[in-house]
DNA sequence: GGTGCGATGTATCGCCGCGATACATCGCAA
DNA sequence: TTGCGATGTATCGCGGCGATACATCGCACC
């Protein structure tokens, strides 16, 4: 999850933690927070897995006495070859993991790096996920409408409308996606025109 | 969080775990999941705190050899006096905790048990929270619009529209709330007409 | 009349992410 | 010159999630 987001961001340019988090907020702001409390552990994990390496940044640790001065330089993270490979893998996976509430936004954010086929697959997966939820919501509503208090009812209806709205959005996206000439691209990492 | 939801549901009638979760899904379906993986631990915690007690349910453990047969009866949970008190406290708290993304829905779901003043306060808190996010989103968009790829842009705009839509919804709710004659109710647990 | 499946029901495990917090430096304005 | 807000790295505890295990119940289908 966060892993995918980080890989995606670093694939454009090396970044340090703080900047990474700024981009995360800017890109996914409305959907996910991604605090430092998950960012740094994730970076460590990714480093351990060999997806990224850290280089000394701006006010670099002068060889000799970094621990003594306590000065801490910016830590800039950069993708490794394995990291790029892993990113490519994640972007190709079009399983259910790609269209759950918390995951979809991240995948979508990197659609420019995703193949058209996978894009459509994810969009459709997301849509049917939401349609399912919509039906559930509808029947539940019609079954209990009379018994519900004013506020619970309001909440249900708002929820239902939100879902319907997102389905409409997805429909448009899928249509647009289909309209685009899907000339199967040169197999690897397509870029946006 | 889950605690509040459980207290709220149990305040109407005693329920067992499974049923509790069904109600949770039906009520908050669109917003929160609340799997068993958090429900049961929460119930245990609440029991330890004395907010709830469990009674033997349907096919009750016949005195004698429950462990031998391995038969497990439904475990029905019921609010204690302290539990009711605690619920009242939680419903009165109108702090930031009440209008964050994950919390707001739960508070809203029990507005019927909440005083009009607190209701308005929470709605307004939520609104300003969203307005803040909206401004952030807007400026970020106008600053980076040209540099963004098709999909990231789409995502941002969809997010922004979602936020704007929810603000509109809140505006209506607040207005309605204000229109209602706020004849300060007899101090405790008001009910819906 | 058995069998097998889907709903009901209780429970745990490991992982992920969040909010709060701490601490340090930098740039700049009052 | 001091003091504040932005930049920057990092940790901790806890709450929630999805997967999983396991058992029973009711009922439809053969």
B133 vs A30, A162, A169: nearest CB: A30
Q: How long is the CA B80 to C1' D24 vector, in angstroms?
A: 30
Provide the token pair at A49: 């897995």
Give the mean pLDDT of chain B.
86
Does the CB of B109 have a partner CB in chain A at under 8 Å? yes
Interface contact flag, A137 B30, Cβ < 8 Å: yes
Q: Give strand C nucleotides closer than 7 A to any protein Cβ.
A: 8-14, 16-21, 24-26
**CB-based contacts of A131, cutoff 8 Å, min separation 6:** A167
**CB-based contacts of B153, cutoff 8 Å, min separation 6:** B145
Q: Which of A96-105, B76-85, B177-186 has the lowest mean pLDDT?
A: B177-186
pLDDT of residue B72: 60
CB A106 within 8 A of CB A87: no
Q: Does the pLDDT value for residue B83 go beyond 80?
A: yes
Interface contact flag, B109 A151, Cβ < 8 Å: yes
Q: Which of A140-154, B45-59, B124-138, B153-167 has the lowest mean pLDDT?
A: B45-59
Comparing C-alpha atoms, which of B2, B106, B15, B13 is closest to residue B46?
B2
Q: Label residue B71 by pLDDT band (50, 70, 90).
A: low
Q: Does the pLDDT value for residue B19 go beyond 80?
A: yes
Nearest residue of chain A to residue B26 (CA atoms): A140
Distance from CA of A111 to the nearest CA of B (A): 6
Interface contact flag, A109 B133, Cβ < 8 Å: no
Cα B122 from Cα B96, distance rounded (Å): 8
**Helix residue spans in chain B (DSSP H):** 2-10, 17-28, 36-49, 66-69, 81-92, 101-109, 116-144, 150-179
pLDDT of residue B64: 35
| Predicted confidence (pLDDT) per residue in A51-74, tens digit | 999 987 554 333 333 334 445 678
**How many contacts does A have with B, using Cβ atoms within 8 A?**
81
Cα B30 from Cα A157, distance rounded (Å): 10
Q: Which of A12-26, A56-70, B5-19 has the lowest mean pLDDT?
A: A56-70
Q: Which of A16-20, A37-41, B63-67, B71-75 has the lowest mean pLDDT?
A: B63-67
pLDDT of residue B46: 96
A27 vs B108, B112, B152: nearest CB: B152
- Identify each DSSP E strand in B64-166 by its residue range: 75-79
Which residues in range 25-44 of chain A are in contact with strand D, contact meaning CB within 7 A of any of its atoms?
35-37, 40-41, 43-44
């Amino acid at each position: 999850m966060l892993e995918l987001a980080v890989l995606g961001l670093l694939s454009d340019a090396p970044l340090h933690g703080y900047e990474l988090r700024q981009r995360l907020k800017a890109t996914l702001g409305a959907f996910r927070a991604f605090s430092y409390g998950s960012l740094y552990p994730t970076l460590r994990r990714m480093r351990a897995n060999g997806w990224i390496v850290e280089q000394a940044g701006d006010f670099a640790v002068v060889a000799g006495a970094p621990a003594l001065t306590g000065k801490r330089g910016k830590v800039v993270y950069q993708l490794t070859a394995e990291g790029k490979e892993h990113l490519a893998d994640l972007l190709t996976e079009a399983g259910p993991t790609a269209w759950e509430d918390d995951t979809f936004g991240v995948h979508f954010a990197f659609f420019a790096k995703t193949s058209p086929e996978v894009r459509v697959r994810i969009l459709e997966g997301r849509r049917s996920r939401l349609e399912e939820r919509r039906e559930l919501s509808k029947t539940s509503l019609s079954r209990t409408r009379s018994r519900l208090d004013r506020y619970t009812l309001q909440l249900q209806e708002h929820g239902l409308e939100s879902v319907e709205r997102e389905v409409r959005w997805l429909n448009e996206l899928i249509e647009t996606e289909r309209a685009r000439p899907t000339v199967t691209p040169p197999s690897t990492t397509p870029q946006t025109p």
